[in-house]
Chain A
Amino acid sequence: MLAAVSSSTSDTLVELAARGDRLAFEQLVEGRVDRVFRTACAILGNEADALDATQEAFIAAWVQLPRLRDSARFDAWLNRVVLNGCRDSLRRRSRSREVDLGAFERGTPDSQSEVADRAAFNAAFERLGAADRSILVLHHLHQLPLAEIAARSGVPVGTAKSRLHTARRALERALEAEA
């Protein structure tokens, strides 16, 4: 759906929303909420937290949107808002240590080993910090190329590549620990 919206139309919607047009903002939300929610779900692994993070991200976007200078940068900016919201959520959770394990076991019944592998992956992923989770989600879930991740993060491509490698190694080590 997002791809169907031309960039000029998207820019117009952003500019209208920045001037307080709620209908325009609603169209922006509709085009992005699924992706934002999936990002939050993958990072947080908890439906309730993901819903909260999604809602908070769009509320923050609405409030701060008039200060966005370049409407073409809206998606990258929204992405940062979402990731920051997820980071805050993880920080809050680290104090309460609440994990929704049930959320990891949805879907069709699997073999015992598949269930065990998925549980191990999720447990390992829970060991990662927000930055590692974010870059793994952007690259492996949303299939964003490193160049775009680098551009959105404001870092050189080499740095993004290094961060992705570090995050991946951290996940593998966490899996080893879980094993």
Chain B
Amino acid sequence: MSSKVRLTDEVITRRLTERTMDLNPGVVAGIMRAIEGRPQRRSRLFEAWSPAWQLLMLVLLLAALAAIAIATAPPPMPPGLQVRAGTPMGGLGLSPDGRWALPMAPGGRHAVIGTDPYPPRAADGSYKAVLTLQGIGGGAAWSPDSRHLAWYGTSTPSVVRIYDLDQPHAEPRTIDVGAEVSGTAMFTGMLWSPDGSHILFETTNCEYPCVAPGSATQLYLLSVSTQSVDVISRTLPPGWANGWAPDGKTLGFAGGLIVDLHGRTIRDLLPEVSLPASLSSCGSPGPAWSPDGGRIAIIDPLSPNSRRLLVFEGAGSPPAMLTADACGIVGWSPDGDRLVFVTGNSFATKWVQHGNGGGLQPSGNGSDAWIISVDGGEPQLVKHLGWGEVPILTWSETGH
């Protein structure tokens, strides 16, 4: 067993000194010969500058970067209005591999829906949730207050699921509407009522886009609180319920048909357009009611080359055409005096479903968001949107 060793400073110094030896006097000459022909490494350019020069160059570089940023900045937006590029494809944005869907909340918040329990991610971190769609489900629709998300699944088409974002860890609520829906029908869309109390859902007995003669759209109204389902109509021509008047009493279809909650036609904004009207290739074609319900904006889908943005004011009055090059309606200003719309072939056409079912793939160059006064004037560009990006519209409280 070894004993404890304690070394004194003197011992260590002496022993280390003993390890050294005298230097051969020729060593210096050897070193000088060794460096012969060895180039020295000069400082890099920046290091060679004096600190004052370095600071000056840094300031100049920052100034140049700022100038580039200013030169390439988008045009200024009107005060109060923000149009931000949002998640691809509002309602149901699938990742290219088809495993993720990213519904977009009207308020610009995001949630995550995935077909697999991947680590949940939320764009703004406000909530995190992974919801399982039944197969590649669809019709995802946000409640007006952005607190609930409703959707249906293709594997259980008669079940409507409602997810409460205030309870992110709770299972989605399920409402089986199968008893009210004809067996061969399939869901084609859902729309929340303005007050969030009801969900309108559509079914059809042919696959979208449904152009089969004699086919029809069935409209149902689901009460979120009582889970009761009322039939609005089983005989409407194929279309797409796309807008709900602020008073909650009338519905609008792409193509201009306005009906009440009993399925009765109230008005046909575009009588020359025969249903089924195709959806706009870049977002909602309307009809979109102004906040006070007094005006209705719609994109006339009569011709792909003439996508007129029309605004109807009173019943029977002719529409005002704001532009002939609108592609989708983003929304009204709170005062109902201005409209934000997009041009170009935007998000919807940027997603191409491949025949092998491998998911959606983006393509294209994006579009532009504009704002225009309903009373006339030139539209003002507010933002360029990249491919697959959906505008998220927010206004200041005063609407300015």
Contacts and interface: CB of A to CB of B under 8 A. Distances in A.
Interface of A: 18, 20, 22, 25-26, 29-30, 33-34, 37-38, 41-42, 45, 47, 51, 54-55, 58-59, 62-67, 69, 103-104, 106-107, 118, 121-122, 125, 136-137, 140-141, 143, 168, 171-173, 175-177, 179
A25 B34 CA distance: 13
Nearest to B44: A67
Contact of A107 (B18, B28, B38, B40): B18
Given A22-B32, A141-B13, A179-B3, A66 B42 contact: yes
A106 B15 CA distance: 12
Contacts of B13: 140-141, 143
B3 to A, nearest CB: 7
A168 B7 contact: yes
A65 B30 CA distance: 19
Contacts of A26: 28, 32
A20 B40 contact: yes
Given A30-B28, A62-B38, A69-B47, 4 more contacts: A33-B31, A63-B39, A65-B40, A118-B18
B18 A104 contact: yes
B166 interface: no
A103 B3 CA distance: 28
14 contacts: A37-B27, A55-B30, A64-B41, A66-B41, A67-B47, A103-B19, A104-B18, A106-B18, A168-B7, A168-B12, A171-B12, A172-B6, A176-B3, A176-B4
Most buried by A among B12, B13, B41: B12
Secondary structure class of chain A's binding surface, majority of residues: helix
Contacts of A172: 4-7
Query: Which A-B residue pairs are the 5 nearest by beta carbons?
Result: A176-B2, A38-B20, A141-B16, A41-B20, A121-B15
Interface residues of B, number: 33
Interface in B358-399: none
B31 A58 contact: yes
B5 A58 contact: no
A42 B40 contact: no
Nearest to B13: A140
A19 to B, nearest CB: 9
Contacts of A137: 16
A38 to B, nearest CB: 4
B73 interface: no
B37 to A, nearest CB: 11
B35 interface: yes
A171 B7 contact: yes
Interface string B33-63: 0110011111100010000000000000000
Contacts of A103: 19, 21
Contacts of B18: 104, 106-107, 118
Nearest to B33: A55
B72 interface: no
A175 B7 contact: yes
A66 B16 contact: no
Contacts of A22: 32, 35
B170 to A, nearest CB: 53
A164 to B, nearest CB: 11
Nearest to B48: A66
Nearest to A107: B18
B31 A29 contact: yes
B17 interface: yes
Contact of A179 (B2, B7, B12, B23): B2
A59 B35 CA distance: 6
Contacts of B15: 118, 121-122, 125
Given A62-B35, A171-B12, A54 B47 contact: no
B272 interface: no
